[in-house]
A and B are shown apart, each in its own frame.
Chain A
Amino acid sequence: MIGEIPARLVLVAAGVLAPFVPVAARGALGVAAPLLALAQLVWIGPGYRLEVEAFGTALTIVRTDALSLAFGYVFAIAACLNGIYSWHVRRGVEQPAALIYAGAAMAAIFAGDLLSLFVFWEVSAVASALVIWAGGTQAAYRAGMRYLAVQLGSGMLLAAGAALRYADTGSLAFDAIGLASPGGVMLLAAFGIKCAFPLLHNWLQDAYPEASASGTVVLSAFTTKIGIYALARGFAGEELLVYVGVTMAVFPIFFAVIENDLRRVLAYSLNNQLGFMVVGIGLGTELGLNGAVAHAFADILFKGLLFMSMGAVLLRVGTVKATELGGLHKSMPWTTVLCIVGAASISAFPLFSGFATKSMIMASAAQEGYTVIWFLLLFASAGVFHHAGIKIPFFAFFAHDSGKRCEEAPAHMLIAMTLAAALCIGIGVFPAALYSVLPMPTSYDPYTAAHVLAQLQLLIFSALAFSWLMRNGIYPPELRSVNLDSDWLYRGLGLRLALISNSAYQSISAAIADRVITAGRMGAAALERLHGTRGFFAGTSASGSMAISIMLMLLAFLLSYYFA
């Protein structure tokens, strides 16, 4: 039966098989395998466990419950949309790597113990690095290397944390963890890297925009959401996360406003959306946790849609730099409309998905008395509309006409974007369908007159602020530039320290070598003096002097014997 085969294996197997399938059938494989996995998840439902005995302990390699299934469903949907969107990508490593990546991500979600989690954590890290490298540029290669180093670092922390926990508790079970033990702290750090916590975040903005048009769409769905899932499983209700989350929600929007690469803008806004989810997890309430899961579900779809629209622009125009774009609504009207649907969803316009999901987290923060946090989240909400909701569509499709004319996005991309857009609107209009797959039953209703009015006021006046700043020339112009972020610590400072320490090492080792060589030369000279052709020891001496020296020796012996 289909239920007997672990769901993730369908995708992993498809990924492994993909290079051997005729090129013509690979596109269909990339769409069919995720659909099969989705059907299987629906078939299995909650409460399924698959345990095996390995390494002298019982491992739960599959565990389905409401929390893991919610993520599993959306991962399968995202993998399917990615399959449609990247229909044209059939040669090379990207498609197989993307399938294995999606499969490993699902496997990590369904892992019931920390060891299984670690294995799939690492498989997904390596597969996703392959997706980045498939971008094919030198920049993609280097960014992929940095990305892989960070991801494997997260894996090391996970392994160490799991080992410490095993030593402490004698169990590898992956349930609520808490911060009482050093193992727990290490696991939080491992999950924190995947969730892009502040200062651990920059792999995201560094690497994602370097992948191919379709690669970035694939990447945006999984890695960070594995982190969110693991956090929700292990650290729900940990108050620290409220403060970490709100920092994540606020600081990336400043960078997003001044960033020129529109896919990097989206990476910053992805970071900002993760912040909302982390706050929800930190609150740990029914509304907060449900909100975090619901928002992760919605985010995978609308962020995927936004990355898809920018991918289509990249494919057709060859760049997504705001300085190079503008006026593309004339060439790509459908992509423009679909991008605006994604923008409205991330901005939480009523009738779009973000409205039904983000508000759960905000409402929970207010109910729990976190007034300052609530204000900051409201600021971040206005900010996300500003940079993702307006900036992305405005600079790509409107603004001043760049004069660039191109074809509309290819049909398969439009189909994938239309499906994603339909899901975004579907969740916005019928949120109850999404609420029914959340970890806990909820009676939350986003569509109160007060909430709709409040949100519309917030958004319309944010839009007015943007237009007012634009029309008065206050809005900062797009400039060709890079902005330093925490990656400067290793790409700038770290590199310089490495170069300095390298040159210091070079000069110190040269100095040491110099001394050694000088000392060696001096030693050789001394040897030469004593043993060389004219040296003392090389000379022959008369036998008489030998007799005298023996006599002196005997005398010394006699004297010492006499006095002793």
Chain B
Amino acid sequence: MSWFDHPRNVTRLYRGLWIVGGALVLADLVVHRHAETAFDGWFGFYGVYGFVACVALVLAAKLLRRVVMRPEDYYDR
């Protein structure tokens, strides 16, 4: 058994990650961000974009599976 085998630890890790994420977004209030484009100066822009982008990526990839997924021996038949 390792530390990761306990669901409780994984949940702690997960919550810890949210706390870190929250702290990073709040840091936007302190750190003056020299924006590279018109949008990325917005409060919490990178956090929101990262989260939304990854969820969108996974959902789109699930759809892609319907089109391109084949049995493992597809090319051997």
Residues of A at the B interface (CB closer than 8 Å) are 253-255, 257-258, 329-330, 362-363, 366-367, 371, 374-375, 378-379, 382-383, 386, 398, 401, 448-450, 453-469, 471, 474-476, 479-485, 491-492
Contact = CB atoms under 8 A, between A and B. Distances in A.
Contact of B14 (A456, A467, A476): A467
A398 B9 CA distance: 13
Contacts of A450: 31-34
Interface string B42-61: 00111111111111011111
Given A374-B37, A450-B33, A483-B68, 8 more contacts: A379-B49, A382-B53, A386-B57, A450-B34, A458-B50, A460-B50, A461-B54, A485-B68
Interface residues of B, number: 49
A325 to B, nearest CB: 14
A255 B4 CA distance: 28
Contacts of A383: 53-54, 57
Contacts of A465: 50-55, 58
B54 A462 contact: yes
A482 B27 contact: no
Contacts of B44: 457
A483 B17 CA distance: 33
Given A367-B36, A374-B37, A461 B60 contact: no
A194 B58 CA distance: 29
Interface in B55-77: 55, 57-62, 64-65, 67-72, 74-75
B70 A474 contact: no
B17 A254 contact: no
Contacts of A367: 36
Given A258-B69, A329-B2, A482-B74, A453 B24 contact: yes
B13 to A, nearest CB: 8
B2 A330 contact: yes
B36 to A, nearest CB: 4
Contacts of A464: 17-18, 21, 51
Contacts of B57: 253-254, 257, 379, 382-383, 386
Considering the complex of A and B, which 9 residue pairs feature the smallest CB-CB distances, nearest first?
A465-B54, A366-B36, A461-B50, A457-B46, A257-B61, A458-B50, A450-B33, A461-B51, A484-B68
A336 to B, nearest CB: 11
A127 to B, nearest CB: 26
A480 B72 CA distance: 6
B31 A453 contact: yes
Contacts of B2: 329-330
A482 B47 contact: no
Contacts of A466: 54
Nearest to A372: B37
A259 to B, nearest CB: 10
A378 B49 contact: yes
Nearest to B61: A257
A460 B21 contact: yes
Contacts of A460: 17, 20-21, 24, 47, 50
A252 B56 CA distance: 15
Contact of A257 (B21, B38, B58): B58
10 contacts: A329-B2, A371-B38, A382-B54, A450-B33, A465-B50, A465-B58, A474-B58, A475-B58, A484-B67, A484-B68
A467 B50 contact: no
Contacts of A454: 33, 40, 45-46
Contact of B46 (A458, A468, A471, A474): A458
A462 B46 CA distance: 10
A401 B5 contact: yes
Contacts of B18: 464
A468 B28 CA distance: 23
Contacts of B49: 378-379, 382, 458, 461
A463 to B, nearest CB: 6
Contact of A491 (B38, B60, B75): B75
B36 A363 contact: yes
A453 B58 contact: no
A294 B35 CA distance: 23
